[in-house]
Structure 1
Amino acid sequence: MDFHTWPPKVLVVDTEGSGASPPDLVELAAVPITAGTVRADAIRQSLVRPPNPVTQRAAALNGLTNQVLASAPTWETIADQVRADLSGAWIVAHNASVDYRLLSRLLPGWEPAGVICTLRLARALRPDLDRHTLDMLLASIAVPLAGVTGLRHRAAYDAHATALLLLALAERLDTWADLTAIAVPPALRPGPVDEQQGLW
């Protein structure tokens, strides 16, 4: 992969939700990739106190209970900073529709430079695998996780691990154009979109 073909601002993001429908945001993390290197030193992460209680199922998955979130900032206090951080960026996420929809709902008018879905990318490049969950891919591709701190299902860990997965998958391709041809959801490609198709 020629990383000189990549845009200057690529952010791998992960969001954790409250378990409600639609979900409230309870944690957000973003890690930049620069010149083919995951910038772990520049990860931005924040807990968010949701307006409604988190469900027991969500809290059991990520450990973010109502008590843990009680002293976290509200979304309103960090929204402007998040918008500035994401402005002009290509965002990357595993099963990106989940993160994109949540962020779009919370940031009216925000549009990323583009969206890369590592789930789409993995399905295209590793059709031999029965499942393409983040855990399955990290194990199957032997992504080196030694430098990833924190816990699985927490935003900073998942964003960092997804960034490493992206680079591992990108090794099979030559340029950013090759990557986007596979990994950009169809509804976000240039040209007319079938309105019945929905966003994704």
Structure 2
Amino acid sequence: MRLEHDDPHARADLGRSEGSVTDERGVTHLTWPRIEELVNRIAEEIGDDGAPQILVAVLRGGGIPAVWISHKLRLRDVRGVEVTHTADDSTNAAKTPQPVAVNAASLGDLTGRDVLIVDDVAGTGHTLAAAVKLAADAGASRVRTAVCVVNEDNWTGRLPAEATVTYIGTTTRGWVVFPWEGNDEHEH
């Protein structure tokens, strides 16, 4: 895994990137060009390691990056599973005690398959850990994970080993709003 800050040409500070804006509350708003840059980097790394057979999007946030990655890697088998660890969509939303899987059966049979789980952001890693467990329980022989952004404020020292993120687009500190989430001003 190559983190963006390992790349001397990349911008690790999302707040100062041309592809994002940090508002007065410290919330970073990513742009579509920035997401494209992160997805391209992730897809290249996945391709270098060998494309998976199945992509699983952690819904809702992982849906768009998963489909985008699937096109980059020419993969047609994209599935979705809703696993959530936030109580609602508001900025800095409260967390549920444990991640909740809403439609675990939607993964289908993954027996013997190489699976990539994709999400938009990883905080504590608990949502990814739950998704990894679901894929393993469905029979996957290999499970990798990819996220556009890791929030280091929540990440450091709290990531369960089984949820290690294989591919990371970039890291940040603080809340991130993705372009598909729209404008969140009505929430404040």
Normalising by the residue count of structure 2, what TM-score does the alignment of the two structures yield? 0.31
Structure with higher Rg: it is 1
Normalising by the residue count of structure 1, what TM-score does the alignment of the two structures yield? 0.30
Which structure is higher in strand share? 2
Which structure is higher in helix share? 1
